[in-house]
Amino acid sequence: MSRRRTPLAALAVACLTLVVPATAHADTYSPGSAGLGDPYFPHAGNGGYDVEHYDLKLRFNPKTDVLSGTATITATATKNLSRFNLDFSGLTVRKVEVNGKKATFRRKGQELTVTPAAGPADEAKFTVSVQYDGKPKPVNDPELGVTGWIHTKDGATALGEPDGARTWFPVNDNPKDKATFAYTVSVPVGLTVLANGEPRNTGIVRVRNGWSSVKWEMREPMAPYLAMVAIGKFKVTQGTAAGVPNITAYDPVLAKTSKYLHRTTAKATEWGVKHFGPYPFSSTGGIADKVDVGYALETQGRPVYDGDVSDDLLIVHELAHQWFGNSVGPQTWRDIWLNEGFATYAEWLYEETHNGPTAKQTFAKLYKSKGEFWQLKTGNPGRNGMFDWEAVYQRGAMTLQALRQKIGDETFFELLPAWTEKHRHGTANTRDFIDLAEEMSGLDLDPLFNAWLYKAAKPKL
Ligand SMILES: [Zn+2]
C-alpha cells in the first residue's frame, strides 16, 4: 500500500511420547477456531483448514449496487472438523453446501460458521460453496481507511488490505493462507472487468440478456487481501514486460495522468527483475481508477492506483511489492515492514539507479529530520500504526540502508534476490530475514535489527 503525504531463538520442542489408547481421538471431531491469532487482527482467518482455491462467480449491477455471488472454496482439513468458520461481513447468505450437501450456518460479527452434515476428516479435501447477495459495504476503519468492495462512479473496485476481502466473498482472511483464484464476473454490457492474473476468455466474452461475463485467473498462490476486481469504463492496453503479459487499464477520465502507466509499468517490472530476481507472477500490469480511497494498493500482479499515477516512484513501489509482500508474504501483520520498508527502499534504489539521490543520501537526510520515525517500533508498530508512513515505510527503508552499510553492497545485492527466491510464493517473518542476512554476511546482526526495528528510539550510527 502506498499513501502519499510528502514526497527467537529457535523453539526447542521436547518430544514427548504419550501413551494413548489407539481409539482415543480417531473419532473426535471438534470445531475449527474462529481466528488465527494474528496479533493485530485476531479474528481474521480461521483454524482447522487450509484453502487451496477460491472460485468466485460474481454478478454486479452498478445501477442497483447489488452483488450476487457463489463462492466455491476448495480446502484441506487440518483436523477432524465438526464445524468451521469463514470471514464474511454484510451480504445475505442464501445457501451453504459442503461437498455438495446442504450445511447449516450461523453468523456473528465477521464470522460465518458452517456446520456440515458430516464434518471433513483430518487431511481430507473438501469444498464449501456459499451463495449470497446484497449491497456490499466497505470496511471504514478510522485508523486504516476504507477497504473492501468500493462503489465507484461507473462500477466498483475491490481492495482488501488489511481485512476488506470479507466484504465481497467468504474467505479465510489471513495473510498466511494463500490460495489460487478464479473469477467469473458478469456485468451489464459495455462495462469492462479487470482482476488479478490473466483473462481466460479474451474474445469470447459471453453475452446474454444485456449482461456479459468475463473470466480471470490468478494461478500463483495469493493472500486474500490481495484479491482484486475492478469494474467500470476502462481503456485497456496489452503488451509484454519481463517476458510476461503486461495488462494495464485506466478510467478514461484519468487519461491525462495515466498516459505513461503502461510504459512505466513495463520499465519498473523489468528494473525489478534486475535487482530482486525473477518476476514472481505470470503477468504484470496496473489499473488507474477513481476509487477515492487515498492510496494505491499492490493487488497481486496488477496494482490499483487511485487517481493520479504520473509519479514513477509510486508505480515502482507497488510493483516492488510483487516480490516483497505478495510473493514473499508476511506471516502476520506485525511484519508489515517486510512489505512496506522494502517497497519504499525500492523507490530509493530506483532513484539511485536513475540519476537521483543515492539511497545513502536519502537515508542521511531522513536521519537528520525530526519526524516521528523514532516514536514507534518499526518491527511492531501496532495495529493502528501499521501503515505509518514515517515509522514503517521510511524507517523500514532506513533499516535496509543501515543493513546495506553494515554488510556491504555485494552481500546486500545478493541478499535481496536470495530472500525472494527462498520464500517465493510463501510467507516469512522478520526473524527469517535476519537469519538469512546473518548467514550470507557471516555477521551477528541482532544488535542492528534490534535498534532499528524494536526500539522506539533513534538508533545510533
Ligand atoms: Zn506499499
Q: pLDDT tens, 81-132?
A: 999 999 999 999 999 999 999 999 999 999 999 999 999 999 999 999 999 9
Ligand 1 centroid to 406 CA: how many Å?
Answer: 25
446 vs 280: CA distance, rounded Å: 29
Ligand 1 centroid to 442 CA: how many Å?
Answer: 30
In the chain, where the domains are located: 29-233, 250-323, 330-453
For the chain (461 residues), the mean pLDDT of every run of 10, in chain order, is 54 42 64 95 95 98 97 98 98 98 97 96 98 98 96 97 98 97 96 96 72 96 98 97 98 97 98 98 98 97 97 98 98 98 98 98 94 91 96 98 98 98 98 98 98 96 89
Ligand 1 centroid to 97 CA: how many Å?
Answer: 37
Predicted pLDDT of residue 296: 98
Ligand 1 centroid to 37 CA: how many Å?
Answer: 24
Ligand 1 centroid to 115 CA: how many Å?
Answer: 38
Ligand 1 centroid to 376 CA: how many Å?
Answer: 18
Ligand 1 centroid to 64 CA: how many Å?
Answer: 33
Ligand 1 centroid to 298 CA: how many Å?
Answer: 7
Ligand 1 centroid to 340 CA: how many Å?
Answer: 5
Q: Which residues are within 8 A (CB) of 292 and not within 5 positions of it... i.e. 6 or more apart? A: 150, 152, 306, 307
CATH number of 250-323: 3.30.2010.30
CATH says 330-453 is which class? mainly alpha
Ligand 1 centroid to 107 CA: how many Å?
Answer: 33
Ligand 1 centroid to 317 CA: how many Å?
Answer: 6
Ligand 1 centroid to 337 CA: how many Å?
Answer: 9
Ligand 1 centroid to 343 CA: how many Å?
Answer: 6
Predicted pLDDT of residue 17: 42
Predicted pLDDT of residue 27: 75
Ligand 1 centroid to 394 CA: how many Å?
Answer: 11
Predicted pLDDT of residue 373: 85
Ligand 1 centroid to 428 CA: how many Å?
Answer: 17
Backbone angles phi, psi at 199, to 5 degrees: -70, 145
Predicted pLDDT of residue 143: 93
Ligand 1 centroid to 94 CA: how many Å?
Answer: 37
Q: Which residues are within 8 A (CB) of 409 and not within 5 positions of it... i.e. 6 or more apart? A: none
Ligand 1 centroid to 170 CA: how many Å?
Answer: 25
Comparing CA positions, the residue from 302, 139, 284, 300 lying closest to residue 225 is 300
| Number of C-beta neighbours around residue 355 at 10 A | 6
289 vs 308: CA distance, rounded Å: 9
Ligand 1 centroid to 408 CA: how many Å?
Answer: 26
Predicted pLDDT of residue 1: 86
Tell me the three cell numbers of residue 375.
516514536
**Superfamily name and number for 29-233:** tricorn interacting facor f3 domain (2.60.40.1730)
Ligand 1 centroid to 389 CA: how many Å?
Answer: 10
Ligand 1 centroid to 353 CA: how many Å?
Answer: 20
Ligand 1 centroid to 146 CA: how many Å?
Answer: 15
Ligand 1 centroid to 112 CA: how many Å?
Answer: 30
Predicted pLDDT of residue 8: 35
114 vs 98: CA distance, rounded Å: 9
CB-based contact 337:392 (threshold 8 Å): yes
